């Protein structure tokens, strides 16, 4: 069977054949995530600046400023896992953090433009509450004689400035499975891939702003309590938690396998 690019396909089955037509634009909420902090800073302002500190764009008109692939790759190389993190965000404000997250959420690609990604930003006391919840959840299942190290790790995460929670909206995924049944088994995979792109984009964006981060996965252990605490819709499935804050030291050494074992190229330009 011929494979059509997901972003351009509207598959219908007629007389045993798959036909493709250009899909009509989907009407989806552009930003349904919740952002809360100790000062309850939720901004409804239209995003106006992208996450790169030296490249400015607007929501309706892209800047003509040109950057090289090397500049992007340098940021990707600089993105590392940092432990521990501090509450020092420098000059970065709650509004700016929310702006960065919303811009990334809007522009990271998804299969068929399904836009299944959802995000919650937690700052200040709300961030600390998340790690108190995680500590209490783990305390109930980790043996008492080995809980001290777990408690220390939770305290380390709590000591950071904030956490970004990544979700996928299962209602969206199921809707795409029903609409394009021929690819039903692939949509959950594609949704996870899109979420991973968003996680990486925001991790790199925070690095561009001088912050450190580390990615955690305490789901599904904390899912129910998170949903209850922050009124998360039932259809939002938690995938990851990106802890961020000020860097307190250097990242550890990172080993790389030979690129020749991981890369192939054929033909020439």
User: Which H helix or E strand runs over 178?
Assistant: helix 170-179
Domain spanning 88-247: which superfamily?
NADH Oxidase (3.40.109.10)
CA distance 44 to 242: 23
For the chain, give every domain's residue range. 88-247
pTM: 0.78
Residue 253: how many other CB atoms lie within 10 Å: 5
Predicted local distance difference test score (pLDDT) of residue 119: 98
pLDDT value for 66: 83
Listed as ranges, residues in the chain with pLDDT below 50 are 1-62
pLDDT, tens only, 50-97: 333 333 344 444 455 688 999 999 999 999 999 999 999 999 999 999
Cβ–Cβ < 8 Å for 114, 176 = yes
The whole-number pLDDT of residue 177 equals 98
């Amino acid at each position: 069977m011929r494979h059509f690019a997901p972003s351009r396909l509207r598959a219908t089955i007629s007389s045993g054949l798959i036909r493709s037509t250009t899909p009509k634009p989907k009407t989806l909420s552009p930003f349904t995530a919740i952002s809360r902090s100790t000062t309850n800073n939720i901004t409804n302002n239209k995003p106006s600046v992208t996450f790169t500190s030296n490249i400015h764009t607007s929501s309706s008109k892209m800047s003509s400023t040109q950057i090289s692939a090397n500049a992007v790759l340098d940021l990707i190389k600089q993105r590392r896992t940092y432990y521990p993190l501090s509450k020092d965000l420098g000059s970065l404000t709650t509004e700016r953090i929310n702006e960065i997250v919303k811009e990334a959420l809007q522009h990271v690609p998804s299969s068929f433009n399904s836009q299944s990604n959802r995000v919650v930003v937690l700052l200040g006391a709300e961030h600390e509450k998340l790690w108190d919840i995680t500590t209490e959840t783990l305390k109930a299942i980790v043996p008492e004689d080995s809980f001290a190290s777990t408690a220390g790790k939770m305290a380390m995460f709590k000591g950071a400035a904030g956490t970004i929670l990544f979700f996928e909206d299962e209602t969206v995924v199921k809707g795409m499975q029903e609409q394009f049944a021929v690819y039903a088994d692939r949509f959950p995979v594609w949704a996870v891939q899109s979420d991973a792109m968003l996680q990486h984009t925001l991790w790199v964006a925070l690095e561009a702003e001088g912050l450190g981060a580390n990615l955690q996965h305490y789901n599904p252990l904390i899912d129910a309590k998170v949903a209850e605490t922050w009124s998360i819709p039932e259809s939002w499935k938690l995938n990851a938690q990106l802890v961020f804050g000020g860097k307190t030291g250097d990242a550890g050494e990172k080993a790389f396998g030979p690129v020749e074992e991981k890369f192939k190229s054929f033909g020439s330009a």
